[in-house]
Structures are given as structure tokens and as C-alpha cells.
Chain A
Amino acid sequence: LAKTTQPISMDSYEGQEVNITCSHNNIATNDYITWYQQFPSQGPRFIIQGYKTKVTNEVASLFIPADRKSSTLSLPRVSLSDTAVYYCLVVRRGGKLQFGAGTQVVVTP
């Protein structure tokens, strides 16, 4: 599976947009990009998944350029409750999840 690289931490103020970019240079044709959110002492929660271009749901947007070597998770107008660790994963159909250290996002008033 393709190795992912994302920032260790990001700080933001309430109401701002947070963009987390993840690099996955060795992504394969059959791989999807998936993002999870984890709060302290809880299991990760699926946020969004995409293959190419843009995907949007009620929580976030995922931007994937044509070469698919990177992706950007966009969290619009964050609140204090968005403080969490965000994981970028490259997933193959039927494959296992391989987690990195993730990005710690801290939102302050």
C-alpha cells in the first residue's frame, strides 16, 4: 500500500477553514483515499472517501488532483468540537487499513 505523509499538527481558530494535505506518491490505480477522525479515547470515525476530483459530504470536502499523488481534506468553518486527530489512508478494495500518526488539529476560540 502507498505510504502517506501528512503534517503532524495544525492549529486553527473557530470559524476558519482547515485544509490538511496528504501525500501518497505511490498510490495505485485501484486505491482509494480515505480520511478518518479520532477523538481522545474513542475509535476512529470515517469522514470521507474519494478516488479523484472532488467529493463533498455534510462534514468535509476532499480534493484529489488528476495525478492522485496527494489529497486535501477541507473542514469548513471549524468549531472547538473539531479538535481531533485526522488520518489519511490509502485503501485497496478488500484491503486492510494502515494508519500513520495522523494530523492533530487543535481549534481554539
Chain B
Amino acid sequence: DGGITQSPKYLFRKEGQNVTLSCEQNLNHDAMYWYRQDPGQGLRLIYYSQIVNDFQKGDIAEGYSVSREKKESFPLTVTSAQKNPTAFYLCASRQTGDSYGYTFGSGTRLTVV
């Protein structure tokens, strides 16, 4: 089945460490997105990429970095510069053009200890 795979499901990080969250899709979608969700709140856009080797900052990009070297993969690095990284991180993809529907992964819950 086609879909989006996020790994790991749970991740613990010590303060001051960088950590990378994986997002892989086999839907042949052009665009990929990273969102952050805090308890009781909606999703906030971190970064997005509409095409390989290109990406743009979202609303809360500070302290995060991404790469898009392959169409299928869009990893997110949470750097030590992110002051409050504990959150639920969601990756999504969408086919550009006429499609409006986004497909989301099952998320990675990151906890800083």
C-alpha cells in the first residue's frame, strides 16, 4: 500500500543534541511538509518542499532544518537551537496540480529529557 512512513514513533533527546526525524513516502507526491503539534493545539507548518532540492520555511522554521535530496524523502532535523522541541511532529505529502488532499504520516513524538 502507498503511504507515508515516519520513524521513529517515539524519540527521546537530551538537551543540546540534534536529532533527525525520518519521513518517507511512496505515493510519488511532489510536495512534502513538516508540521508540529503541541497538546490541545492545531498543526503549525515548519518547512515544506514542492520539488526535489528545493524547500521553503513555514511559520515556525527557527531551530529546524530539512533536506530534499530525493523525491521520496524529507528528513527534519531538530537542532539544539530549538528552545522547546518537545512536541508531536507530523509529515505530509501532496501531489501538486489539481489535487487538494494531503496524506499524513502517523507522527513522531519527540521528548527532550
**Residues of chain A having any CB pair with chain B under 8 Å:** 32, 34, 41-46, 49, 87, 91, 93-94, 96-102
Q: Is B85 an interface residue (CB 8 A)?
A: no
B63 interfacial contact with A, CB 8 Å: no
CB-defined contacts of A98 to chain B, threshold 8 Å: 45
Closest Cβ of chain B to A40, distance in Å, is 10
Shortest CB distance A20–B (Å): 15
Q: CA–CA, A34 to B45, complex, Å?
A: 17
Bound Cα distance from A91 to B102, whole angstroms: 11
Contact A41 B41 (CB under 8 A): no
Q: In the complex, how many residues of chain B place their beta carbon closer than 8 angstroms to a beta carbon of chain A?
A: 27
A101 to B41 CA separation, bound complex (whole angstroms): 5
Chain A interface mostly: loop
**Would you call B104 and A43 a contact (CB within 8 A)?**
yes
Residues of B within 8 Å of A93, CB to CB, are: 98, 100
Establish whether residues A46 and B105, one from each chain, have CB atoms under 8 Å apart when the complex forms.
Answer: no
How many angstroms from the CA of A34 to the CA of B35 in the assembled complex?
18
Does B106 reach chain A (CB closer than 8 Å)? yes
Using known A-B contacts A46-B101, A46-B102, A49-B100, determine if residue A41 contacts B88 with beta carbons closer than 8 Å: yes
Do residues B43 and A96 form an inter-chain contact, with CB atoms below 8 A?
Answer: no
Please provide the 5 A-B residue pairs with the shortest distance between their CB atoms, ordered closest to farther.
A43-B104, A99-B42, A99-B43, A46-B101, A43-B90
A-B contact pairs, 21 of them (CB 8 A): A32-B100, A41-B88, A41-B107, A41-B109, A43-B91, A43-B104, A43-B105, A44-B102, A45-B104, A87-B42, A91-B100, A93-B98, A94-B97, A96-B58, A97-B33, A97-B43, A97-B45, A99-B35, A99-B42, A101-B40, A101-B42
For residue B104, which residue of chain A has the nearest CB?
A: A43
